[in-house]
Amino acid sequence: MHTVVVGTSGVTASDVLAVARDGARIELSGEAVAALVAAREIVDALAAKPEPVYGVSTGFGALASRHISPELRAQLQRNIVRSHAAGMGPHVEREVVRALMFLRLKTVCSGHTGVRPEVAQTMADILNAGITPVVHEYGSLGCSGDLAPLSHCALTLMGEGDAEGPDGVVRPAGELLAAHGITPVELREKEGLALLNGTDGMLGMLVMALADLETLYKSADVTAALSLEALLGTDKVLAPELHAIRPHPGQGASAANMLAVLKGSELTGHHQDDAPRVQDAYSVRCAPQVAGAGRDTLAHARTVAERELASAVDNPVVLPDGRVESNGNFHGAPVAYVLDFLAIAAADLGSIAERRTDRLLDKNRSHGLPPFLADDAGVDSGLMIAQYTQAALVSEMKRLAVPASADSIPSSAMQEDHVSMGWSAARKLRTAVNNLARIVAIELYAATRAIELRAGLTPAPASQAVIAAVRAAGVQGPGPDRFLAPDLEAADAFVRAGGVVTAVEPVTGPLA
């Protein structure tokens, strides 16, 4: 099994995916352990002084003015975890919770939090044992970080609350820790606060969304090319010299992908035949411009994610010179903005894909295809309602594109009077990504059927490869009406698994 070593300088997106989705094991580097020891010595020294230090010997948030005596500090740290573990609603997905815990461990190991090595090791042990704290949908305002979700994770470290075992069964956390030989931690000064104060949940969801969207954007280029081909469109608009004079990198990459898919097609270039067209519709002709803008949005979001992955997000932080200073680095605005931006781009990509599907199904605009791609139109409805489903998904995508980060709601007696809502932005982006996969799958289903109905014209080799692969995956071709939902589910699974990209790349070479 792959092992991820956590040091002091952050982690990579690949590390997050390996731990969250693939169950990779975690080890702490010697450098990280040394940094943990050094930072803890600073915290212990400050805890022994009579002067109050925020997070070490004071209360929290709006209660930070109270100096806490030494005999109450362990209770203080336990209490902050228990009181902040106040989430409600459905359980958050296992991969999200694993990413959340792993990214908090990343910051703990930076040496800027003052947490003891044994606490960090227990976090790693819990992840390695496949124990997943129960985290709820609601409870984070994205400032000071993802407080309630992280609190539910810290509660598991204490052996309290509920968690899911490697078998998927939810049990008391103390029982699960005991079953795996893990001793619950007794939190000391600053440690409760340090386990709660970060943007880890929204960052984990951003990293996973970026990975999923990279595959979906490549898949969308392929399905757009298939739709262009099925509509007898022209590939001349994809010429590199046209995109070179508007040098957005994503646009050029999308156009190049589409052109590679269409190479060798006998279906393109018939726009001047029986019903001459000067130009294809925008949804066909401007596919690279829309998908390309989304790709450039991905590139920007990836830059933000990389910066955040290299960050130590906590308050207060331990600095190398021995100071423990309050700060505002826990604010989720940088991550929240790009989460919302990605939802906007995904909604537009879904919207243009739906317009191409609708064109394939409309006999007045499909240039010779049967109505709704039906076998016997009137007796058969074909893909009429598949497009309804796609339209419903697009409509929801538009609602999900409304930014969460434009909102703020004050909390903590107005101490935390401006929050990022980054967790909410991340949660709705996950829904948007899932919807986008379904939308692309429906376009794939329609475009492959339409190409097969173009008798006498040979599609591009890459198109043939996609059609063969999707049929092998259980997605049926043209014919009389049948129970359609299983076909759509199979197409969706094919898209999510990267099947579109895997099918074409042996023919086209690696897609950009």
Sign, Cα dihedral of 359, 365, 371, 374: negative
Q: How many of the other CB atoms lie within 10 Å of CB of 77?
A: 25
Is 103 within 8 Å of 189 (Cβ atoms)? no
Phi-psi region of 382 (alpha: psi -120 to 50; beta: other; left: phi over 0): left
Beta strands in 112-229 (DSSP E): 132-133, 136-138, 162-164, 170-172
The most distant pair of C-alpha atoms in the chain lies apart, rounded to whole Å, by 90
The single residue of 54, 138, 282, 388 carrying the catalytic annotation is 54
Contacts for 212 with CB less than 8 Å, ≥ 6 apart: 433, 437, 496
Give the three-class secondary structure for 133. Answer: strand
Q: Distance between CA 259 and CA 236 in Å, rounded?
A: 9
Characterize the bridge pairing of strands 162-164 and 136-138: unpaired
Q: Does the annotation mark 138 as catalytic?
A: no
Give the three-class secondary structure for 411. Answer: strand
Q: Distance between CA 398 and CA 395 in Å, rounded?
A: 5
177 burial level (CB within 10 Å; 0-12, 13-18, 19+): buried
Is the peptide bond preceding residue 144 cis, with omega within 30 degrees of 0? yes
Is 446 within 8 Å of 384 (Cβ atoms)? no
Q: Distance between CA 283 and CA 227 in Å, rounded?
A: 10
Q: Distance between CA 316 and CA 190 in Å, rounded?
A: 9
Is 161 within 8 Å of 152 (Cβ atoms)? yes
The Cβ-side half-sphere exposure at 455, using a 13 Å CA radius, reads 2
Q: Distance between CA 302 and CA 309 in Å, rounded?
A: 10
Active site positions, annotated:
54
